[in-house]
Chains A and B, each alone.
Chain A
Amino acid sequence: MSEKVLMKGNEALAAAAVRAGCRFYFGYPITPQTELAAYMSKKMPKIGGTFLQAESELAAINMVYGASSAGARAMTSSSSPGISLKGEGVSYMAGADLPGVIINVERGGPGLGSIQPSQQDYWQATRALGHGDFRMIVYAPSTVQEMADYVYLAFDKADEYRMPVMLLADGLLGQMMEPVVLPPEKKNLPDKPWATDGHKGKRSHNIINSLCLQADELERMLIERYKRYDRIEATEQQSEGFMLDDAEYVIVAFGASARIARSAVVQARAEGIKAGLLRPITLWPFPNDAIKQTIEHAKAYLSVEMNMGQMIDDIRLAVNGQRPVDFYGRSGGMIPTPEGTLDALKALVQKVGE
């Protein structure tokens, strides 16, 4: 039985990544994810791994591209402005069907923004981190334990589907300390017969590539890749329900804001409002199935986010006009309070009840 240790979220991410078999970490300094790189710089040299502080985020993500091409489990981490720079490399990884894990410990934006926690990169993570038609699986942990568990899972899913996987956290989760049980050291990593690690004269040469100048051929490849995405949408949705079974007012919130929303739900129930929380754990694929299960008894939905309203789009798509969907959030690095959330919920109850 593994023992419980007290760790910062950023450190738990790093420790669990190492246990998932990650031996190649490439990063560039940025607040508020610095503990992650610091952990890797201490740990990697002692276990025969590589910590490399790259010259830029562009270089770092392309090092992930290279290490992944060579068959290794590789990771990079950054925070919002740095993730924008990684967009190019992630698009190339998607086009070349390369696995890899990208961690975004979000801060306020746009531009240089603030260094306080935010969830302002939801659209970027779930829609368009880079150019072209592609998807990433996006995990949104809400505890330090989940930071460890989902980065661990992210490596497996990246390899299974040969695609980049993002773990979307925020400065609050990255900096907070909680007890965590770290996952066991992973043995028997999957074979990668496609890797460019030298053919040794035993096979024809492998090519890692995202270029395809024949439009019909490229379209065919995209259609094939989207079949994989369809499979992921069908099988990889994850969410958690809290007091959801009979909820008339469903708060949807992920990550750190879900922790706050949960307090608001408890208080609402104490005041006689049948509230519940649906917490998406995968942001892509979005837990459409779980949302749809609530529609029958739900009167309205409230999206609670640390941004100006982004995930609300996905909730509306899932609800498809059958129920009203409202938004409450704080942005720029401000954090919503349980009281503010409860007030927003009460306002929604009143509006819908009228």
Chain B
Amino acid sequence: MAEKNKVVFQRPQSLLPVQTHYCPGCPHGIVHRLVCEAMDKMGMEGNTVGVAPVGCSVMAYDYFGCDMIEAAHGRAPAVATAVKRVHPENLVFSYQGDGDLASIGMCETVHTATRGENVSVIFINNAIYGMTGGQMAPTSLPNQVTQTSPYGRDVTTAGYPVRVCELLQSLDGVAYAARVTVDTPKHVRQAKKAIEKSFRYQMEGRGYSIVEVVSTCPTNWGMTPQGAFDWMRKNMLPYYPLGVYRDVVADGYPSIREAAAARAAECPIAQKGVE
């Protein structure tokens, strides 16, 4: 027994050792772990404030070891904005679902992004309101059956789903926007990298970032966890393609400021204050 055991995997330090209330097969657990791994990797747990508004993750304050704020439905970006303004040295993230981020909080989402607030938004898109029992979400797919679209989402009356990354990537304040998922080990690793990059960009002051995680809701979709991932791969990923939608650094700019000025190169007043 002299040989030393090598730890290859363990619960991240900043993920509290408690049982969560999430349903079996819910990807929230994976994403929580990834957020905590990223926090730990940066050694930031003691300097992180998370904001979880209304939705299935409303009780995330019991799971994340960093300081936590529960916010009103949709208002996490506004809360996170102020938390970051008070302590710019802290890592600040919001953790929001699709109804929260893209419906009731769309105004806060868009304006926090366009202000280029140095915060990270972790966005769980599972195309349904989970906590309230499976109503149609702003990201529910056309013809998707939910409690409030019992005949399938009728786009002639309920309109079309919102593609959040595509919408936000046009805003000058966005430093990084990526869409990932967590259905396979490969995708989990990609998701982890995206979250790490978002946190890193924030601490480097590059601007707003969002990581959209295409997710599932086995309970409210009425499927097994594996069946839900199959449905997600078949229907959601074609509608919400994975990938990086904006990365100012990859585009050759240090931050949103230089990228925005370059985009408005023909506008003299927009060049003021930028080297």
Chain A interfacial positions (CB closer than 8 Å to B):
24, 26, 50, 52, 54-56, 58-60, 62-67, 69-72, 74, 88-89, 92, 96, 196-202, 205-211
Q: Are the CB atoms of A59 and B75 closer together than 8 Å? A: yes
Report the Cα distance A52→B84, complex, angstroms. 13
Q: Known contacts A52-B81, A63-B81, A197-B87; is A58 also within 8 Å of B64 by CB?
A: no
**Residues of chain A lying within 8 A (CB to CB) of residue B75:** 58-59, 62, 65, 89
The one of B69, B85, B107 in contact with A196, judged by C-beta atoms closer than 8 angstroms, is B69
The one of B58, B59, B82, B90 in contact with A63, judged by C-beta atoms closer than 8 angstroms, is B82
Taking the complex as formed, is B47 at the interface, i.e. its CB lies under 8 A from any CB of chain A? yes
From A54, A72, A208, A210, residue with most partner B Cβ within 10 Å: A208
From B51, B61, B71, residue with most partner A Cβ within 10 Å: B71
Q: Known contacts A63-B78, A63-B81, A69-B79; is A208 also within 8 Å of B86 by CB?
A: no
Nearest residue (CB) in B for A64 is: B82
Report the Cα distance A96→B82, complex, angstroms. 16
Q: Can you list 22 contacts pairing A with B, beta carbon distance less than 8 Å?
A: A24-B85, A62-B82, A62-B108, A63-B81, A66-B71, A66-B81, A67-B83, A69-B82, A70-B83, A70-B87, A88-B72, A196-B68, A197-B87, A198-B46, A198-B90, A199-B46, A200-B46, A207-B61, A207-B67, A209-B61, A209-B69, A210-B70
Q: Are the CB atoms of B85 and A59 closer together than 8 Å? A: no
The one of A65, A199, A202 in contact with B71, judged by C-beta atoms closer than 8 angstroms, is A65
**Residues of chain A lying within 8 A (CB to CB) of residue B47:** 198, 200
Taking the complex as formed, is B140 at the interface, i.e. its CB lies under 8 A from any CB of chain A? no
Q: Known contacts A72-B86, A197-B49, A211-B58; is A205 also within 8 Å of B65 by CB?
A: yes
Report the Cα distance A197→B47, complex, angstroms. 7
Q: Are the CB atoms of A66 and B51 closer together than 8 Å? A: yes
Given contact pairs A65-B75, A66-B71, A198-B47, enumerate 7 new A-B contacts (beta carbons under 8 Å): A56-B107, A59-B75, A70-B49, A196-B68, A196-B69, A196-B83, A205-B67
From A70, A92, A200, A210, residue with most partner B Cβ within 10 Å: A70
Q: Known contacts A70-B87, A196-B67, A205-B68; is A59 also within 8 Å of B49 by CB?
A: no
**Residues of chain B lying within 8 A (CB to CB) of residue A206:** 67-68
Taking the complex as formed, is B196 at the interface, i.e. its CB lies under 8 A from any CB of chain A? no
**Residues of chain A lying within 8 A (CB to CB) of residue B64:** 205
Interface residues of B in 182-228 (CB under 8 A from A): none
Taking the complex as formed, is B48 at the interface, i.e. its CB lies under 8 A from any CB of chain A? yes
Taking the complex as formed, is B45 at the interface, i.e. its CB lies under 8 A from any CB of chain A? yes
Report the Cα distance A209→B64, complex, angstroms. 14
Taking the complex as formed, is B111 at the interface, i.e. its CB lies under 8 A from any CB of chain A? yes
3 closest cross-chain pairs (CB), A and B = A66-B82, A66-B79, A70-B86
Taking the complex as formed, is B66 at the interface, i.e. its CB lies under 8 A from any CB of chain A? yes
**Residues of chain B lying within 8 A (CB to CB) of residue A63:** 78-79, 81-82
Interface residues of B in 19-51 (CB under 8 A from A): 45-49, 51
Nearest residue (CB) in A for B16 is: A205
Q: Known contacts A89-B72, A196-B83, A197-B90; is A62 also within 8 Å of B66 by CB?
A: no
From A60, A66, A67, residue with most partner B Cβ within 10 Å: A66
From B45, B66, B86, residue with most partner A Cβ within 10 Å: B86
Nearest residue (CB) in A for B49 is: A196
Taking the complex as formed, is B80 at the interface, i.e. its CB lies under 8 A from any CB of chain A? yes
Report the Cα distance A202→B47, complex, angstroms. 11
**Residues of chain A lying within 8 A (CB to CB) of residue B69:** 66, 69, 196, 207-209
Report the Cα distance A202→B81, complex, angstroms. 25
